[in-house]
Amino acid sequence: MTAYKAAWVCPIDRAPVKNGIVEVDGGQIAAVSDQGSGIGNQQISDLGNVAILPGLINAHTHLELSWLRGRVPPANRFTDWVKTLVGIRRGTEQLITPDIVAPVRDAIRELRASGTVAVGDVSNSLAAVEPMKDAGLKGVVFHELLGFKERDGALIESTREQRAAAARHGIQITLAPHAPYSTSVELFRAIRRAVSSSDCPIMTVHLGESPEEVELLERGSGPWRGMLETIGAWRDDWEVPACGPVQYLERHGLLDSQTLVVHGVQLDDRSLERLQALGATLVTCPRSNRWVGVGYPPIERFYRSGVAVAVGTDSLASVDDLNVFAELKTMRYLAPSVPARSLLESATLVGAKALGLDRELGSLTRGKQPGLLAIALPDHVADVEEYLVSGITPAQVTWVN
Ligand SMILES: [Zn+2]
């Protein structure tokens, strides 16, 4: 049994405890209290003026894109950003070379140093799986498939070996469709079926990110259509759904409580309410949204709708770093009315639940092994939760155990 004392303990499953003590037994949380459960003072390690909280969950990354850091500049229109990305990345999508893997390892070191314990990582090549295992980073890897012209789920079968080879590293791997503008309904449905009958029935999808996506779904026109035609991916028999992104997926039975809907920048209140009613999780990545030209997400509306909100950074192709605390700072700036505790819960427990990792991670609850973060505090912090969403830097972060 080891016990840690700190100026503040933020268990997430309840209010912060001033002068709190966290007891850890065999790597598991045994108790959180303001005095310790009768343990002698000599056994308590006093960490001083810090806040202890569970490791953070980054619910949306693309670690394999880490080599693109600084190479894809911010854009004013999403399709322009995508064009640059696709141009630089062409021919490398399935590569697992040192040039791609070394930046993944660096990125994992950085995200650990900024307090992240687990990720929901979207991947085409599965290049991040081995580095994740080597670094002890937890999480779920979503093997992303796409193809606007796919007329069935044949792609699932033809990529099965690739997943089987990566699965030997012991990281949970499941399938994911990319987005409605890049993935046919037939492929979407086949992925949903395959995922539902697997031992990791979680699915993630990019949804409602850009106005161009909405235009394509509502009217069948706009820059996305132009781009699909240019690259030869357009389908003449594609029926314009004439509805919004959430309605489109719901119509085809593709949304449920096991779905992580990423971005949602363009979603109206009705769509957010539907996500809430279905029990889906909305993963917000505000800094990336701004970078790729779709504008900031309506964070206050997200929370007002009651939908479960998790936090992601997206990839280093659209954000400066993978620090979830920096994402929280942006969320606080965008949504002053949302309680700091709700934001912290999004970056911990909500993400853990969405990824099926909450038996172990997400809060300092008895029996869990969430990792303990000690965040250095300045003197006289009046509201510790507010401070924790004000922009914590890696220099303030220490892993206690
Ligand atoms: Zn993404």
CA angle 177, 244, 223 (to 5 degrees): 75
- How sure is the predictor about 43, in pLDDT bands with cuts at 50, 70 and 90? confident
pLDDT at 248 over 90: yes
Query: In angstroms, what is the span from residue 178 Cα to ligand 1's centroid?
Result: 8
CA distance 168 to 62: 20
* Alpha carbon of 6 to ligand 1 centroid (Å): 36
Q: How far is the CA of 297 from the centre of ligand 1 (A)?
A: 14
* Residue the block writes with tokens 């954000």: 319
Separation between Cα atoms, residue 242 and residue 266, nearest integer Å: 15
Q: What angle do CA 246, 250, 254 make, to 5 degrees?
A: 105
For residue 315, the CA-to-ligand 1 centroid distance in Å is 7
Centroid of ligand 1 to alpha carbon of 289 (angstroms): 10
User: Whole-model pTM?
Assistant: 0.97
Residue 48, pLDDT > 90, answer: yes
pLDDT at res. 42: 58
Binned at pLDDT 50, 70 and 90, residue 217 comes out as very high
Q: How far apart are CA 196 and CA 32, in angstroms?
A: 37
For 227-244, what is the mean pLDDT?
95
Say how many Å lie between the CA of residue 314 and the centre of ligand 1. 5
Q: For all residues of the chain together, what is the average pLDDT?
A: 96
Provide mean pLDDT across the span 35-49: 78
**In angstroms, what is the span from residue 93 Cα to ligand 1's centroid?**
14
DSSP-based three-state secondary structure for 320: coil
Q: Which of 287, 264, 262 minimizes the C-alpha distance to 355?
A: 262
Confidence category of residue 38, pLDDT binned at 50, 70, 90: low
Distance 71 CA to ligand 1 centre (A): 16
DSSP H helices in 199-291: 211-219, 223-230, 245-251, 269-278, 286-291
How far does the centroid of ligand 1 lie from the alpha carbon of residue 110, in Å? 19
In the reported structure, the alpha carbon of residue 2 is separated from the centroid of ligand 1 by a whole-number distance in angstroms of 39
> Cα(44) to centroid of ligand 1, in Å?
43
Tell me the CA end-to-end span of the chain in Å, nearest whole number.
Answer: 12
What is the crossing angle of helices 223-230 and 78-89, to 10°?
20
Residue 260 Cα to ligand 1 midpoint, Å, equals 11
Helix axes 223-230, 211-219, angle to 10 degrees: 80
Distances (CA, A) of 146 to 192, 224, 367: 13, 15, 39
* pLDDT over 80 at 40, yes or no: no
Question: What is the C-alpha separation between 297 and 310, in angstroms, rounded?
Answer: 13
Distance 340 CA to ligand 1 centre (A): 25
C-alpha to C-alpha distance for 205 and 228, rounded to whole angstroms: 19
Q: How far is the CA of 370 from the centre of ligand 1 (A)?
A: 25
3-state secondary structure of 14: coil
- Look at residue 278 and tell me whether its pLDDT is greater than 80: yes
